[in-house]
Amino acid sequence: MISLLFACNALIYSIFFLRVYKGLIKEKNRSNFEFGNRDKISIVIPFRNESENLNALLSSLSKQTDDNFQLTLVNDHSTDDYLSVISKWTVHFDEFQLLHLDQESGKKDAVYKGVCNSKYPLILCTDADCVVPITWINIMRSSFDLANTIQLVAGTVSLKGSSLFQRFQQLEFSALIATSIGAANIGKAVMLNAANMAFRKDFYLRVQSELARENSPSGDDVFLLSACKRNHPNGFLYLNSKESMVMTMAKKSLQDFISQRNRWASKAKFYTDVDMLRLTFVVAITNLMILFSGIGSLISSQLLFPFFLLFGAKSIIDFLILYQYLKGIQQLNLLNYFLIVEFILPFYTIFVAITSQLSKYSWKDRIFNN
């Protein structure tokens, strides 16, 4: 009976993620664009205490192959020396503005203020701790030419780092990005990352009342995706293009990593999108059963077969998805850490799932309750 239960779980996981794999290998999004869209675009970047990262970001923006944009930085009550950093770069941008958030209400409000004060119909967003490639603006803007129905575009994000702990993050994060691309390509979009997204300003403002109902200090990305799916079923595009990939550093400490993942996972209780809920449920149940059978097999040998059945099926599917994605971004060397990460993931996933709903988390020197 137990073996049958685990076999059913393995079958459900395999069917679910084989569809994601099918979407990942689908040639839906072009990597090479003709850069036909010359409409001006506004770039909105909220920041809080990012003086050590702003130099690299602003440098990458100053080197864009297309300088036809407005840059808006929104300060969320920084206490560091951000002004001295920014002042060195303002001359490099024809249209630049620095705004200040009135209340300490978080990133979502900072993005909203930036969008409302932007001049142009297309908005491009990233985070202050990121570096963008030189063709970033060109590709993200031109993606709106692929269909006039597109309201929201996501781009890929990759982590940098050389330690074993950072390699773990790179591989785990790559799995999230690969799943997001595959799911989007089969019309079941589940995630995107605010570090690399673009949208039409009028769409964003139209759905603002829906976004305001979500009682979360972050989530400007996944809640915007949910609103797009509700209001524009064919309005979302996930670009699988290395030329528009944004880079950011992986966390250096375990505490910072867990705090970030707790913040991400804390948004799950606000999810209403069926595709997001289904993905969350399948992943949580699968990892819980692997954890249960793995620990239980140390006590009872009857759980050994169910454990290897489910763990084996999950590992094969995960490897296929990661191989397909990492091959495209030329990071196949990360698969050297695959088995280590695969064994750690059930412990980490369940731990974060529980703590994200029960404990407080810290973000940018602020404490948030769940």
CA distances from 311 to 15, 16, 170, 286, 339 (A): 15, 15, 21, 9, 11
Tens-digit pLDDT profile for residues 153-166:
999 999 999 999 99
Tens-digit pLDDT profile for residues 92-122:
999 999 999 987 677 888 999 999 999 999 9
The domain ranges of the chain are: 1-41+135-195+205-359
CA distances from 71 to 39, 156, 196, 218 (A): 15, 21, 15, 22
Q: Report the SS3 class of residue 245.
A: coil
What is residue 27's predicted lDDT score, i.e. its pLDDT? Answer: 58
CA distances from 192 to 67, 313, 345 (A): 26, 26, 21
What is residue 30's predicted lDDT score, i.e. its pLDDT? Answer: 46
What is residue 264's predicted lDDT score, i.e. its pLDDT? Answer: 81
What is residue 216's predicted lDDT score, i.e. its pLDDT? Answer: 62
What is residue 359's predicted lDDT score, i.e. its pLDDT? Answer: 65
What is residue 213's predicted lDDT score, i.e. its pLDDT? Answer: 66
pTM assigned to the model: 0.91
What is residue 29's predicted lDDT score, i.e. its pLDDT? Answer: 46
What is residue 181's predicted lDDT score, i.e. its pLDDT? Answer: 96
Contact 50, 130 (CB under 8 A): no
Mark the ranges of the chain whose per-residue pLDDT is less than 70: 27-38, 104, 213-219, 359-370
Compute the distance between CA of residue 96 and CA of residue 68 in angstroms, rounded to an integer: 12
Cα-Cα-Cα-Cα torsion 34, 36, 40, 45, nearest 10 degrees, comes to -20
Which residues touch 288 (CB under 8 Å, ≥6 apart)? 346, 350
